Chains A and B, each alone.
Chain A
């Protein structure tokens, strides 16, 4: 019985975050000024800790059990039944623990990072909202609620990116983040409306059953799949809806930590849950693989040309999420999840490192950094472990995941192994480049007197470093590793080699004493730094046509529709003005007109007796 009670309480977990938001409001709005904003942050950290502990406890309860579905009726009207349904399984609770753990670390980190910022209270409130939404997505078994929570994440991304709303770049970044994601969300909503009509169901488990037996028109199936895919597409910053993540790096770093690890993972998580529906149409899977490949190839290239330390990492996030998309398209949901987990940890660590650099040196421009090797030991460790965790290096982080993916692709679609090698190699190159530019070489003006960050930032960084190092051991304990077969050896060797080649090139180019910041060819540098000019593409294909259409319609509205109305009124007005000159004031004339009128009417009435009116 107690066991049952325990599971019943799982819906509390998202509520911890939201309660934190509600409790932080007095500080966020500035009603309480005397205590400073910190109490709001403490409250939120406490509640996140509660969510984390609760999640861990639940994880112990559900470990090794079958998934359970909990249903809470929420809204029933006519034939629409929106039931809040939660899936309680080791996977979902594990995701909850992972998310709340990362959120906890990010919030402690924020205490240090936003130390002197008056908006800390607002930040804490938004982080609570963010965390609530993400844990909700992890638990939700209802497509409707996952959609709603994704949309809430869009809103909180907007507010978090726009945290420093007085800066011009932040203003556009927040706007673009919201609008780009909104495009994806809107298509997802269309998909949700369509799929709930076709299937009559809205929970993932019912949809899975339906998809197994459904006989849907292939065109509709394809369109539906594409629409459903669009939401995660925007959320995971995949081509062509990827530009927002790059701009979003203008926001505060503690939020970027979560955004690049957990938020993108939430989008992919929904995608993985939708996978049975996407599989209804072969086109959808093909599109998934294609988009993933394009983003993975392009993102890892573009990352090489970024001189903003956060932006270079954000492109690598897009690239890795591209690999996840490919994995989902190739029907490998388990490996996709594993990649999300591993990438998320390493990326969060890298962002923490980047944040501590930005905090100490007050710059995020790689050209202004350098020679920090001996000054910031914790940051160096975080960077090194994070980088190693990103690439396929035995035995750390992504090695096993990428190897097993390559093993699967080797059978199904060998070209995709090339994609993995490419991403792995270029990521290694880029990480070596960043590491070289930041830590090697001679100190620059801004890095000459850089101290290590305080414990509030160093502690979360340290914990995450240890966790990243421990992850392979944990996976070993859970028995997730395959046996060494000859093919596996080959693949492992290839992947390691690609990483080593990348790292060697990066080291050779950027670890030397002379500082080479840009790529050798300026055209290439520009092309990549501007992300293949995707921004111009948006302008030409979406922003300008819609703008022109709106302006045209507005003109029509003012001059056509309203002009007609005003024209009619003017016609009446002027005819009245003209007619008034016929009024001379002479009685005789009036009488004459009246008599003539009467005569005419009488004559007409007499003439048309058959109307029956003149009796």
Chain B
């Protein structure tokens, strides 16, 4: 089920939030677990087996690690393999097959499995729990319902943020909380997130689709504006989803870690990655970069570690060379930035707006790799001319909404009057947009 669907907005969400509010305390957590399973199984009931497998495996794994302290390393290793196997099969098997075929000339026969929604997210959450218990950062969870709620909590189940167990441990072990003030704040944030997704991201997605479908016709103007629109699409789609997740979590009495902090206002790439998909960056830092040695073993080793982390980050986003290239691109740029840019007097003297623009430009080029539409680069370079009349009309039509996205992304946050009415107005506009346009899957579900 996706948030921007009528099934969720008109049936699932009201029933679950009202039910959660009205049920006695003892019944709240089991109800939440059941709701989360319905939410996940709604798209394809078969995938529930996979979620239940990871849930059972990691629940039992946590108990085993705590019980057999001396052999916990071997147990953890085995559990990590068993966690990662479904991910590798469902997400990367076809990529590995195609790569092997291309390198060796073989013709490996294998069906392409459908990718279960959110597999990367809940697999990483399960792994974070096991490692936290292994390290002694968290106590094993003996209550299966509480553990089930942690792993499958529907607001963040399929598109994050990736909630580490230590973030939720205390919240899970206390009685459920459903105060009205949290519900109000939560639903307001949900409405903002839904608006970002339905009113901004989807519009930007349509414009990018129009431009990228015929880049020679789009020309330089269409390619630049199209790729900028794609950068807004991916930001508003994902940060909108995170807002919805955080808002729903809040309404249910949970506080999840923030996932975005106005990333296009970053003044350097290092800062950008502190503001973009923060839960993933934190996950890789905690569970890959630091265990590899981080920056404690000299500059050369740090650079190798960074490249490993960024290649994996790219691969996490999708099984394709364009994603790996995208990750490596940022790895290289971040290494260069740390060595030659950050802290240098020339950089410090550069006006903020110029640093912001330069950072955004680098990120924008990265989105070109991410999109995998290689023709966008020659088009942006003007090799197909300026534009065509039809593309120019589309550019002009989408310009107001593009400027609105740019304003929200680049400018300081404004405090507008009448914010109390923002949520119902946004909800009405989103329902209107959904009624008129049907619904569109979230871009980030494929990860």
- Do the two chains bind? no
